[in-house]
Structure 1
Amino acid sequence: MATRTNRDHSPDAAAEAGGRELIRQRVIEAAADLLAREGSSAVTTRAVAAAAGVQPPAIYRFFADMDGLLDAVAEHGYATFLAAKRVDPHPDGPIEDLRAGWDLAVEFGLANPALYAIMYGEPRRGTNSAAFRAGMQILLGRIRRLAAGGWLRVDEQLAAALIHATARGAVLTWLSLPEDQRNPALLTAMRESMVTAVTTEKPAVRHAGPAGAARALRAALPEQTTLSDAEQHLLTEWLDRLASDG
């Protein structure tokens, strides 16, 4: 059998690739640190290179331009936020769990204003990262538990959009206000408005009408194996139609 001699698969090539990744990560972390300490205006090629201990041209071996670096900083921000997320395996209830998740998202934004602005300054910046997708799965899990219990007032995708929109709006509005006008009641009111828009006061499956029951059954479908894929698809279509009438 022929021995592989491709340089790309040699130990030296693997070490070189690992070294490049370490330098790339150092550049990202240096940019994120400058952003946190001095604001977005401090994130220049020269300043980032000095903080990372590399020559300025080296940055462009990893990123096409500064926008590319900021995209990577946004991904770093999503990873940092994901690491801070607390998933309570035994929450007091699905609505309290929703409140806790919303509070955590807002607290992260208030504690990291410059990073938050980079993460959400462009509508889709960093949203293809693994950390963003993992964070969305945590949120969708919270929403799915609401739906399964009959607490969800709206469609699951609309619920996710409402939760995101109110959290972002709360953070950006708070940060736009002069410090002497930042009233914590604003955050509480926005959170409770979100809860009212997304959930019902009592589980909808206890009420007359098919919409709440349809949402609860639709949420439970992935857990059962009795139906074929085609049957699940057809039933999901029917349940979507029923749920949209509530």
Structure 2
Amino acid sequence: MSEHSQVRDRILAAATELGVDASIRDVCAAAGVTPPTVYHYFGDKNGLLDAVAAAGFGRYLAEKRSREPSADPVEDLRRGWDGHVEFGVRNPAIYGLMYGGRSVPHPSMALGQEILRGIITRIGEAGLLRMPVDDAVQTVHAATVGTTILLITNPSEPGMEKLSERTREAVLASILVVSEGSSELADAARHLLVLLAGTGTDLTPGELGILRELLASLGA
């Protein structure tokens, strides 16, 4: 790694550790550099914070992309939710720069939403979505970010234990064609619909259409 990269990374690490409220002077003291060095690499404090957020999104997206999709996109959605919340709780300072207090969303946020959109599109193709894909994407995104910020800022408040799991399942119930107390047959029919969406079969298009219609009726 070049000296240029080492200095830049050291400044980023210091800013990440100190958080959004740190001054340039504080960052310089922690990184062992002078203010002109920070301005040289990042322009100003906003440029530095944007670079920290971009580095955070890089780590976050690398974790998301490392998860191989399964045959069940609903479970993939659960895993994605849990991974998002876990990343934020594990990296509270950097998460705050990524999602908190920004008047304009960071450009990298859209990359995470595209991964989410891909999962929800698969759920829609399986006939298990009760609203348009765009509506479901924004619902899940808003709920996940809000839950994560609450867990970061108020971890010891009453009712916070299992908050993520409760909220996740409430959101899934709101976007999926699934009802509480459904029969084992209905659950099995919905699961088979999901598998059909992601697996090739020897059925003709007509046969596949009839099967999907029957399974949707059983799962409703």
TM above 0.5, yes or no, is: yes
Q: Deviations over 1:50-83 (max 9, x none)?
A: 3333222111122232122111111111111112
The percentage of counterpart residues that share the same residue type is 37
Letter in 2 for 1:145: R
- DSSP 3-state at the match of 2:68: coil
> What is the CA–CA distance in structure 1 between the aligned matches of 2:37 and 2:121, rounded to whole Å?
45
Instruction: In structure 1, list runs of 5 or more residues that go unmatched.
Output: 1-17, 207-216, 218-246
> What is the CA–CA distance in structure 2 between the aligned matches of 1:30 and 1:173, rounded to whole Å?
25
> What is the CA–CA distance in structure 2 between the aligned matches of 1:199 and 1:107, rounded to whole Å?
23
* 1:75–1:151 distance in 2 versus 1, CA, 3 Å: same
* 1:178–1:159 distance in 2 versus 1, CA, 3 Å: closer
Q: Which residue of 2 aligns with 1:94?
A: 73
* 1:19–1:156 distance in 2 versus 1, CA, 3 Å: farther
* 1:98–1:146 distance in 2 versus 1, CA, 3 Å: same
Question: Is 1:159 the counterpart of 2:143 in the alignment?
Answer: no
Q: Which residue of 2 aligns with 1:177?
A: 154
| Structure 2 residue corresponding to 1:117, chosen from 57, 71, 96 | 96
Equivalent residues of 2:16, 2:93 under 8 A apart: no
Q: Deviations over 1:111-153 (max 9, x none)?
A: 2222222211215342x13xx4432332121112111111121
Say which structure, 1 or 2, has more relative contact order (CA 8 Å, 6+ apart): 2
116-125 or 141-150: which moved more? 116-125
Q: Deviations over 1:16-36 (max 9, x none)?
A: xx764553343222211333x
| Structure 1 residue corresponding to 2:18, chosen from 19, 26, 34 | 34
1:106 CA drift (Å): 1.0
| Structure 2 residue corresponding to 1:58, chosen from 16, 37, 40 | 37
Q: Which residue of 1 aligns with 2:145?
A: 168
Q: Which is greater in Rg?
A: 1
> What is the CA–CA distance in structure 1 between the aligned matches of 2:114 and 2:6, rounded to whole Å?
28
| Structure 1 residue corresponding to 2:7, chosen from 23, 34, 41 | 23
* 1:159–1:123 distance in 2 versus 1, CA, 3 Å: farther
Letter in 2 for 1:28: L
Equivalent residues of 1:70, 1:118 under 8 A apart: yes
Q: Deviations over 1:178-207 (max 9, x none)?
A: 61525323222210111012211279xx9x
Letter in 2 for 1:144: T
> What is the CA–CA distance in structure 2 between the aligned matches of 1:182 and 1:102, rounded to whole Å?
19
> What is the CA–CA distance in structure 2 between the aligned matches of 1:97 and 1:71, rounded to whole Å?
30
| Structure 1 residue corresponding to 2:50, chosen from 68, 71, 74 | 71
1:89 CA drift (Å): 3.2
> What is the CA–CA distance in structure 1 between the aligned matches of 2:33 and 2:138, rounded to whole Å?
41
Q: Count how many residue pairs are aligned between Structure 1 and Structure 2.
A: 182
Letter in 1 for 2:99: Y
Question: Is 1:45 the counterpart of 2:29 in the alignment?
Answer: no
Q: Which residue of 2 aligns with 1:233?
A: none
Instruction: In structure 2, list runs of 5 or more residues that go unmatched.
Output: 179-185, 191-196, 198-220
Equivalent residues of 1:71, 1:125 under 8 A apart: no
Letter in 2 for 1:65: D
Aligned-residue RMSD, C-alpha: 2.9
- DSSP 3-state at the match of 2:53: helix
Counterparts of residues 153-232 of structure 1 (less than 5 Å): 153-177=130-154, 179=156, 181=158, 183-201=160-178
User: TM-score under structure 1 normalisation?
Assistant: 0.64
